[in-house]
Amino acid sequence: MLIKLTGGTVYDPMHGVDGQVRDIYVRDGRVVSSPPADQRIDEEYDLRGKVVMAGAIDPHSHIGGGKVNIARTLLPEDHRPHPIPRTALTRSGTGRAAPSSITTGYRYAEMGYTAVFEPAMLPANSRQAHMELADTPIIDKGAYVMLGSDDYLLRMMAAGKTQAEINDYIAYTIVAAQAVAVKVVNPGGISAFKFNQRNLDLDEKNSYYGVTPRQILQTLARGVKELGIPHPLHIHGCNLGVPGNVQTTLDTITGVEGLPIHLTHIQFHSYGTEGDKKFSSGAAQIAEAINRHKHVSADVGQIMFGQTVTASGDNMAQFRNRGFATPNKWVCMDIECDAGCGVVPFRYRDQNFVNALQWAIGLEIFLLVEDPWRVFLTTDHPNGAPFTSYPHLIRLLMDKSFRDANFERLHPEAQAMSTLKSVQREYSLYEIAIMTRAAPSRSLGLGDRGHLGVGAAADITVYTPHGDRERMFEKPDYVFKDGTPVARNGRIVRVTDGGTHTLRPGFDKAVLKPLRAYFEQFHTMRLENFCVSDEEIVNDGRGRIIVNQLRAGSRG
Amino acid sequence: MKALTLTLKAAPAQRVDLAPITPEKLRGKKAAEIGRIRLQCGNRTVAVAELFAVTAGNCEEIVIRRCTGKFDNVGAGMTCGSIAVHGNTGHRTGAQMAGGTLTVRGSTLDWAGTGMAGGTLVIHGDTGRCLGAAWPGDAQGMRNGTIIVCGNAGERVGDKMRRGAIVIEGNAGDYCGARMIAGSILVCGKAGDFIGYSMKRGSILLTRVPRLPATFNDCGTFEFGFLPLLLRSLGRLSHRAAALSKRASARAQRYAGDLANVGKGELLVLR
Ligand SMILES: [Zn+2]
């Protein structure tokens, strides 16, 4: 089947294509070069006057795993008033901040997203996470496995194991959990919380293992690099949400000896202590540091005003924030000594000084980081806001007058503390295409995704240009997933099943012996049951495993 | 002006959600308009007029005749006026009601008065499980108002109840007042096992000593100044409470608990 997409204005940053009118040909789910003139075209779409981009990729969105289910259970308020009836094509669901997994897949696809990554999968929870992702239709999925507060790694570090031995453990965990990257959350801090530590600074020791966050970051970042994992270590740093944490974040950037790192939801880590209320924006310093250090990338974790729920592995930060719970209920828990989990419902208000400044800080970072290849568009769904607010966020980035109008509605003292209004920058469509397509694809090593070159997977989104960018990005005209039209004018027209991105780094089988002994002695399951098999994900053809390439030069 | 009357024409085959029929939702509507309101019935909707004969009248005062246990959410969310039901009702009768008076001259199924925030619910027959209880996922059950049940009640009366009063003139099932946060429950007949299970505060008034959980402590017999006042006020709605207010002294045997939780609740056995 040969499809022709005729005359669209194409934005494909991976190939430097910035708004050129082109025809795109798709055969059997892939972009192909233009066929001979006598070739029969099976289907043609007239895209003259339309904007064409690759399908969008969300590199950080909590859409699976235990904590999302806890958020759903905790908040009947989120699903009772928001039922989503079934249609002839789609199934029913509920919820806005933590929607049903099925609804999540539909909403992402309707917005032109074709791949979404769950960033906080505990090894012990990976089976549940993958089952939930399997219930998320249309889009491709992938998950980052969480290490850094797990008992086994901390034991290894405390015992002075070599980097090579730790690398084997990291590689084994990636394979066993079917992950595509490694994340660390409050390195060592989730563990320290269980030993009654309520803060853990970069160079403070976990009181039980005697290991510092800096050591954990260095060990994991080095392991990720040496194993050839495409995505740098995905770091949710120390001191999330604490005024003054801008210094911790700057120290993290300079403290990893130039190893590649990705700082996630960096907005929550960019707070100073200036001003009467001892809370100020550290965005300028953070942006300046990112601009200077080319080994660092970040996603923002923009907040939006309204009701949401925060769900994080960082039980230390979530315990600190429990007083802000709206409605007033929260959960903090340990999970299998692997990590923890905290769920705190939250309502961000524009007339609250701190929330208003958080909003401004996020936008300042977006606009002050010069290189869109190293800053990705996220709201840390659902922590900063539900992912459905992305079109609104894109408009804030692309439209200064709209941004200023919103800014002027903020708490007046927050306005006085922000330089946002003096920032003239407006993102271009090309830059939006970089930060929502090309850059996440390149960073995650997705190969044939996030671009429209010959051989690329035909994940394609078509928009009608509109002065109101929110309207434009809310309801794309067409969304193609692997060449199949799945959405039209923001409505699902075909429900398909996406694949799961994974990696297969090599490891020395010697790692299994002590691990097996450890599982026998301490765990609630056996090592064999801990591994998620390919068959479980493939599930008689409903799912598909995509094995991505390791970075060249690694030992995989 | 006489009451707006809905008379059931034929029993529906599927369950019907009657939540749209409350005084405030019908206010200002003519009989024909009311007849056109769509009600969820199983997996489709039907018009009110298909099920009921509608007789025009004052919408503040609704009478539903020949009602059956197929009708759920009768009076749910009502805030004012009155609804009188002749016949039985289904689940969630008077759920989340915040004001007005709902009278069922028959029996109800489960979850009557769940999440109720005010008003008066009177059930002349029996009621099912979870009367005035917290809907699953909710932190609190009944938050205010008064419920009178002339017959018996099932399990979990007043589960997670926060405020208000419940009178059961007959017997109450197991787990009566379980996880109660505060409020008052009067059981004139027998109460089942696990009474006051995990209750934090609140009072459960009884006429005979129940099978006591191990985590309740006998505190002895005392004179309680509030008892005659409480019984007299409940006596305005309940004959049995009125009789008790005449007969009972202000003395009651007090059992404090549940000591496995906060333990500030009490079972008071009237003497
Ligand atoms: Zn996150």
The rounded distance, in Å, linking the Cα atoms of A144 and A121 is 6
C-beta atoms of A76 and B139 within 8 A: no
Residues of B in contact with A73 (CB under 8 A): 137
Beta carbons of A278 and A319 less than 8 angstroms apart: no
pLDDT of residue B137: 86
Q: Which segments of chain A have a pLDDT < 50?
A: 556
Instruction: Find out whether the peptide bond into A391 is cis, omega within 30 degrees of 0.
Output: no
pLDDT of residue A459: 98
Task: Tally C-beta pairs within 8 A across A and B.
Answer: 6
Beta carbons of A452 and A16 less than 8 angstroms apart: no
Residues of A in contact with B138 (CB under 8 A): 76
> CA A405 → CA A395, A400, A426, A429, B138, distances in Å?
12, 8, 14, 21, 39
Paired residues of A57 in beta bridges: A115
pLDDT of residue A554: 56
Q: Which segments of chain B have a pLDDT < 70?
A: none
CA of A326 to the centre of ligand 1 (A): 19
Neighbours of A248 (CB within 10 A): 21
CA of A61 to the centre of ligand 1 (A): 6
Residues of A in contact with B137 (CB under 8 A): 73, 76
Name the residue in chain A with its Cα closest to that of B136.
A76
What is the pTM (predicted TM-score) of this model?
0.89
Q: List, as ranges, residues 63-82 from A with C-beta within 8 Å of B.
A: 73, 76
- What's the start-to-end Cα distance of chain A, in Å? 37
Tell me the ipTM for this assembly.
0.74
Q: List, as ranges, residues 354-373 from A with C-beta within 8 Å of B.
A: none
Task: Name the residue ranges covered by the structural domains of chain A.
Answer: 53-500
CATH number 3.90.1300.10 is the correct assignment for the domain at A53-500:
no
Tens digits of residue pLDDT in A431-452 = 999 999 999 999 999 999 999 9
Question: Is any Cβ of chain B less than 8 angstroms from the Cβ of A329?
Answer: yes
CA of A68 to the centre of ligand 1 (A): 11
Structural element, H or E, at residue A297: strand A296-299
C-beta atoms of A73 and B137 within 8 A: yes
The rounded distance, in Å, linking the Cα atoms of A397 and A34 is 35
Beta carbons of A200 and A209 less than 8 angstroms apart: no
Residues of B in contact with A76 (CB under 8 A): 135-138
The number of angstroms, rounded, from the C-alpha of A419 to the middle of its chain's C-alpha atoms is 27
pLDDT of residue A553: 62
Paired residues of A328 in beta bridges: none
CA of B143 to the centre of ligand 1 (A): 36
Residue ranges of chain B whose CB lies within 8 Å of a chain A CB:
135-139
pLDDT of residue B103: 98
Q: How many CA atoms lie within 13 A of A95 on its CB side?
A: 26
Residues of B in contact with A329 (CB under 8 A): 139
C-beta atoms of A329 and B138 within 8 A: no
Q: Are strands A331-335 and A339-348 parallel, antiparallel or unpaired?
A: antiparallel
Two tokens, residue B57 = 């009248």
Of B135, B136, B139, the CB nearest to A329: B139
CA of A182 to the centre of ligand 1 (A): 13
B/e letters for A494-526, b = 16+ CB within 10 Å, e = fewer, are ebebbbbbbbebbbeeebeeebeeebeeebeee
* Nearest-neighbour CA in chain A from B43: distance (Å): 12
Q: Which of A457, A427, A266, A341 is nearest to A73 (CA)?
A: A341
pLDDT of residue A556: 44
CA of A544 to the centre of ligand 1 (A): 25
Beta carbons of A118 and A483 less than 8 angstroms apart: no
CA of A244 to the centre of ligand 1 (A): 20
C-beta atoms of B137 and A329 within 8 A: no
Q: Vertex B268, ends B263 and B271: CA angle to 5°?
A: 155
Return the HEC string of chain B.
Answer: CCEEEEEECCCCCCCEECCCCCHHHHCCCCHHHHHHCEEEECCEEEEHHHHEEEECCEEEEEEEEEECCCEECCCCCCCCCEEEEEECCCCCCCCCCCCCEEEEECCCCCCCCCCCCCCEEEECCCECCCCCCCCCCCCCCCCCCEEEECCCECCCCCCCCCCCEEEECCCECCCCCCCCCCCEEEECCCECCCCCCCCCCCEEEECCCCCCCCCCEEEEEEECCHHHHHHHHHHCCCHHHHHHHHHCCCEEEEEEECCCCCCCEEEEEEC
Residues of A in contact with B160 (CB under 8 A): none
> Residue A173 phi/psi, 5° resolution?
-65, -40
